[in-house]
Each structure stands twice: as structure tokens, then as C-alpha cells.
Amino acid sequence: MRTVPSGAGSTAASPASVLAADLPALRRRISAVLIAGQILGGLGVATGIALASVLAQEVSGTEALSGLAPTAMVAGTALLSVPLAALMAARGRRPGLVLAYLIGAAGAGVVVLAAVLGNFPLLLAGMAGFGAGSSANLQARFAAADLAEPERRGRAISTVVWATTIGAVLGPNIAAPAGRSVTGLGIPAAAGPFLWAAGVFLVSAVVVAALLRPDPLLTARALADGTEEAAGPEGRSLRAGVRAVRESPRARLALVTVAVSHTAMVSIMSMTPVALSHHGADITLIGLVISGHIAGMYAFSPVMGRLSDRLGRLSVIGLAVALLAVAAFLAGTAGASHGRTAAGLFVLGLGWSAGLVSGSALLTDSVPQAARAAVQGLSDLTMNTAAGIGGVGAGLIVAHAGYGWLNAVGALLLIPLAALALRRKPAGATG
């Protein structure tokens, strides 16, 4: 029975004190903590974002600026992923996740303050900070992979992604009572969900700080071979992460997979409510279509994880390309058929899930242990930056050419991904 090498601490909750024989139980406990944090974090994000556009319209006084609130959140998620990944690379997952939730809580508080003051620029700044909560949720999937066996890494990632379903479904449903709860305090009802989200993020931070011990990333490093440990802290910088991706064709494919899947999903999904409303759909129907889309994104992620482990990463990347292409065809040719649009959005969610899970697993497989945290932060920066650009471009395409053309452009984005995937050949179970 081997003890993890010393050098990372000496307490009972430190990586140095973990016995190799204890790893199965440790994996289960770490997974349970991450799932709990993911449920809470997903609840906080979904509760706040449910009325973000409405609040932005109320504060700015114009519908034309309402879309800037979710855009500011996406921008914040992208920009904050870099320093948060740097912190995790240097200090471990726990301090990075805790700080992300605390920034998200502070951002939600700033949103509430901006609503009370009627200050739109302050609202956008708060939404950017609020995006840190989404950064934490994204990084949690990689924390689940830190201690997972390579042949089970896809399942470990997908389980944490699946946990987001609970918060994503509950969040919009408690937005209304959250709004009513603050009306007597002089706070606009549309800002109430953000006040609740701040509280949820604080609870998430406490859960992670208290229970995510020993740190999964530091433990994984302590368990790694001496050659990888010898890389030292300088080998864990973001620059090293960029170098690791540049040197690995599979890492590049993984990065493109995650970025393209996320961009196609965000671009098409963000404009679907507009297209539905143009064809006579009411708010209830639009909500049902988006709920089906969210179910496709998260509820079936364990299936994608299992397929990724059993069939190989490249096979599931191919499945993601096929699903996203089918989704673009269904939604882009739906016209006034609400059922066809709903089917397209559901399949779009499935394609995103396949791309995110398989791409994240392949990325973790393809780079050295020492550079993983930095590479994973680079992945989240890339995917959210691309999605932010895609979201802005989607509005312009729909305004000038229509929703059908938006889906056509989304399908075209898949061509370089398919070409890269075809150039790589499966290599073993994690191919």
C-alpha cells in the first residue's frame, strides 16, 4: 500500500497523506462534493440569468440594450477563466472554485445595487462578475477528472455536467418568488433573483471550502510520476498550457471541439426564441422549447460520458458533429413548425453535450499532468470568447438574412472540426 509522495502537506486532509488504496473512496467523496457544488452553482446562475434581459431593459429604458446583460456575463466568464485557471494551477482546485463563487456572489450584489440606483454601466459590470459563477461550474468538470482513471474520465466529467440539470431546471422556476420577496425592500422585482443567487453562491463557496479536501488537483499531482512532478510550478503557467496545446494535435482537436460545439449551440439557441415569436409562439411555448434544449444539454451527459469511455473520444466527437448538423438542419428548415424547432433544439443540446464531454476528456488525456489546469483554463477562455462572438454575430445574421441562414452558418462551422477529427486515428479506449 503506497502513500502519496510527500511535499504537498502533512495533515490528514492533505495530498501527502492519501493512501493509494484509499483512492476509490476519495474519488466518490470528491465527486459528491463537486456534484453538490454544481447543483448549487447551477441554481445560482439559472436563477439570476432568468430575468437578466428583463432587468437590463428596465434599467436601460430600452429593449435594444437588453441583450447586453447576458453578453456581459459571457464576457466575464471568458475573461475570469484565465486568472482563475492560473490560481488553480498554482494552488489547486479548491481556492480557485471558492474565489470564483465569491466573485459571482459579489457580482450578483453589484447587479442588485445597479438596479436600485438605475445605473446601466454598473449593471453590466456586475453581470461580468456574476459570470464567475459560470466559470466555477465549467471548471468543476475538470476537477472531477483530476483523480479519475483514464478509462473512466469521460464518465467522471459527465456526472458533474449532469448535476447542472437540477439547478438549471429549478433556477428559472424560483425567479418569480425571488422577485416577489424583495419588493418590500425597495429592490426591483427583476433584481430579486440576483439577490438569491448571491446567497446560493456563498453557500457553494462554503461547501467547496469545507469539503473539497484533499484538493483533487494537488492529490493528482502528488500521485503523478516523478518526471511530471519535476516540471515544477513554471511548467504549470498559462504559457506552458499554450505550449502544451501547440505541441499536441489531439489537444488542438479537443480545444476546437469544445469551442465549435459551444459556439454553434449558443449562436442558434440564443436566437431561437426570437424566431419562435416571429412565428406566433407565446412565452409558455418558448419556455418549453428551451427547457427541452436544456434537458438535451445536461440530462443525457452521462450517456455521452459512457460512450466516450467505451467507444473512444474521437467517435463521440464525430457523433457531436453529426448531432449538431442534424440540429441545424431541423431548426433551420422548421419555418412555422414549432415541433420541428423543438426537436432541433433538443438535438442541439445533445450535440453540445457530446462535444463538451468528449472534448474535455480528450483535452485532459492529451496534455501532461503539470499543464492540465492551465490548458483547461485556456479551453474555457476559448469556448466562451468564441461563443460571445457567435452570439453577437447571430443577431446580425438573423437581422439581415434570417434564422435559416444562421443555422446554415452554424453547420458550416462544423466542417473544420470534422476535418480535424478525420485526420486523427483512434488510439485505444480513450482515442
| Most confident among 168-172, 367-371, 417-421 (mean pLDDT) | 417-421
- Name the pTM for this structure: 0.82
CATH number for 332? 1.20.1250.20
pLDDT tens-digit readout, 3-22: 444 444 434 456 655 566 67
Coil, helix or strand for 365? helix
Measured between alpha carbons, how far is residue 300 from residues 160, 161, 307, 418 in Å? 12, 9, 11, 22
- 58 within some domain: yes
Domain that holds residue 417: 237-423
Same domain, 74 and 168: yes
Burial 220-248 (b: 16+ CB within 10 A, else e): bbbbbeeebbebeeebbbbebbebbbeeb
- 386 within some domain: yes
- 228 within some domain: no
| Cα R_g (the chain), whole angstroms | 21
Same domain, 270 and 394: yes
pLDDT tens-digit readout, 72-89: 888 899 889 888 988 998
Residue 384 has a pLDDT of 87
pLDDT tens-digit readout, 191-242: 999 999 999 999 999 999 999 999 999 998 888 754 444 445 555 566 778 8
Instruction: Report the chain's terminal Cα–Cα distance, integer Å.
Output: 31
Return the minimum-mean-pLDDT range out of 122-136, 318-332, 377-391. Answer: 377-391
pLDDT tens-digit readout, 109-151: 999 999 999 999 999 999 999 999 999 988 998 899 999 998 9
Residue 285 has a pLDDT of 83
- 1 within some domain: no
Same domain, 20 and 136: yes
Coil, helix or strand for 142? helix
Residue 153 has a pLDDT of 93
- Count structural domains, the chain: 2
Return the minimum-mean-pLDDT range out of 221-230, 255-264, 267-276. Answer: 221-230
- 287 within some domain: yes
Give the three cell numbers for residue 129. Answer: 462578475
Please state, rounded to an integer, the average pLDDT across all residues of the chain: 86
